[in-house]
Amino acid sequence: MKILDFLHKDTILVNLKSYDKKGVLGELAAPVAQATGLDPENLVGVLMERERLGSTGIGGGIGIPHGKLKILDSLTLAFGLSRKGVDFESMDGRPTHIFFLLVTPENSTGVHLKLLARISRLLKNDHFKSKLLNAEDSDEVLRIIKEEDEEF
């Protein structure tokens, strides 16, 4: 399973502007909603509900917000980069800069967990994270992910 099977150029944002969790989720949800036909407010609601169970800010500057929707046909992934960092209530209390947003159909738990694990594993590589943090545009993000994704 490769990340680029689910991540597309139009769902990559390299200059997130928001200062808080709900704002970031709204920014990340907008292109996903547009690509899938979902209602953006409903999508943010699902993501915020998941955040109430515990923050998806895993520390090390990384957030992997995710949620499941009955009306979704296929898994969708978005990427966001906050240059200044956001208080995402991360486990380590530090600002979050790199976001992977994962939205899956309600009945796809196996694929959902596999992709979460894949993203988490790649983000343990500090060189990979550093390259993502310095990416200038969506094409560069795709290239960086493609290089790393092929190594596993």
List the catalytic residue out of 66, 97, 112, 127: 66
Indicate if 66 belongs to the active site: yes
Separation of alpha carbons 152 and 149, rounded Å? 6
Is there a contact between 98 and 122 (Cβ–Cβ < 8 Å)?
no
Contacts of 83 (CB under 8 A, 6+ apart): 15, 16, 97
CB atoms within 10 A of CB 114: 13
Residues tagged active-site: 66
